Amino acid sequence: MFKTEFAQPYFLLLLLLLPIWAYLWFRQRKTYFANFRFSTTQGLSAAPRTFKTHFRWLPQLLRLLCLACVIVALARPQLPMQAADITAEGIDIVLSLDESGSMMARDFKPDRFEASKKVAAEFIAMRADDRIGLVSFAGESYTRCPLTTDHVVLTDLLAETQMGMLAGGTAIGMGLANAARCLKNSKAKSRVIILLTDGVNDGGYIQPSQAVEMVKKMGLCVYTIGVGTKGLAEVPTDAIDARGERIFTMGRTEIDEQLLKYIAEQCNGKYFRAIDEAALKDIYAEIDKLERSKIQSTSIKRYEEHFAPWLFSALFLLFCELVLQVWVFRSVLD
């Protein structure tokens, strides 16, 4: 059986004042002055003693009990519910997602970009206890969402990310540097960047080698993912057909795997190649297993508030006192 606890137990000290108040009230009764004066009360001694005579003190007792219930309610009695064990992973993760034009290639369904967003959302759902941020890059880089535990907002922002919102190109160095900047003030035990791209670095004012040196100084871990089939894929062109839709043609996938391997090796991570959506899911699942360094297990108590019954009891006792004072004993209220 659960033991009652009080959130604000110092209010219970007020209960010590109630006996003093009761003593002063009964003592004061002896000093009351009658509204009518008699030469003698000897003739009243033979008068019958009724219920009202015997229980004249009852309204005051109800008032004392009412005050006692109010004091207990103020102390906020609580019943501790089942303790919940919380395991803190101590991991901050930033997803750096390529949104250059080549991510529209249709070797993934419906294309590389949408498939990458879908799998990234599933990965976020698996990391409920971690802070996760989102960075996107093309010819420049932009922080879509800083580190947060509000994964609902993060997933919504990921879903709203569209192609063509950034300048053209593939600035891998910018995407890596911006992700590192998001982790600059992180105090987590493990700080991770997952960089996903399907191209070759061809822009940005921060070169990949410069970004790697920045990441190494910060002690971050970087997992790199190259997205695209090995061989020919249906890739977008700059041409538009009569219906206003982009024309696609078969082309060869170009991924700078040497650069992505270099980034991963220098930053204590690992390089992966995703040739389809199933492989991409497996990669995220492997990263999920690699980054499971549990550092703290805490137990928290959840409480169920029980002040309401005491408050309702106080109101009921107050109502009973008023009824007795006004209709039974027919006296003017103190």
**Per-residue exposure over 91-109, b if at least 16 CB sit within 10 Å of its own CB, e if not:** bbbbbbbbbbbbbbbebbe
Q: Which of 120, 145, 119, 124 is nearest to 133 (CA)?
A: 145
Residue boundaries of the structural domains of the chain: 1-22+51-81+301-334, 86-297
Query: H helices within 55-205, ranges in order?
Result: 58-74, 112-126, 151-160, 172-182
Q: Report the C-alpha gap between 172 and 169 in whole angstroms.
A: 9
Residues of the chain with pLDDT under 70: 1-2, 28-55, 81-90, 293-302, 329-334
pLDDT at residue 216, as a whole number: 95
pLDDT at residue 295, as a whole number: 45
- Return the SS3 of 324: helix
pLDDT by residue (tens digit) across 275-295?
989 999 999 999 988 877 544
pTM of this structure: 0.62
pLDDT at residue 289, as a whole number: 86
Task: Extract long-range pairs of 250-259: CB within 8 Å, 24+ residues apart.
Answer: 253/105, 253/107, 253/198, 253/228, 253/229, 254/199, 254/200, 255/197, 255/198, 255/199, 255/200, 255/226, 255/227, 255/228, 256/172, 256/199, 256/200, 256/201, 257/226, 259/172, 259/200, 259/201, 259/208
pLDDT at residue 333, as a whole number: 46
Q: Report the C-alpha gap between 328 and 321 in whole angstroms.
A: 10
Q: Tokens 């004993």: give the residue.
A: 329
Q: Report the C-alpha gap between 289 and 283 in whole angstroms.
A: 10
Which CATH code for domain 86-297?
3.40.50.410
pLDDT by residue (tens digit) across 78-107?
887 655 555 555 689 999 999 998 899 988
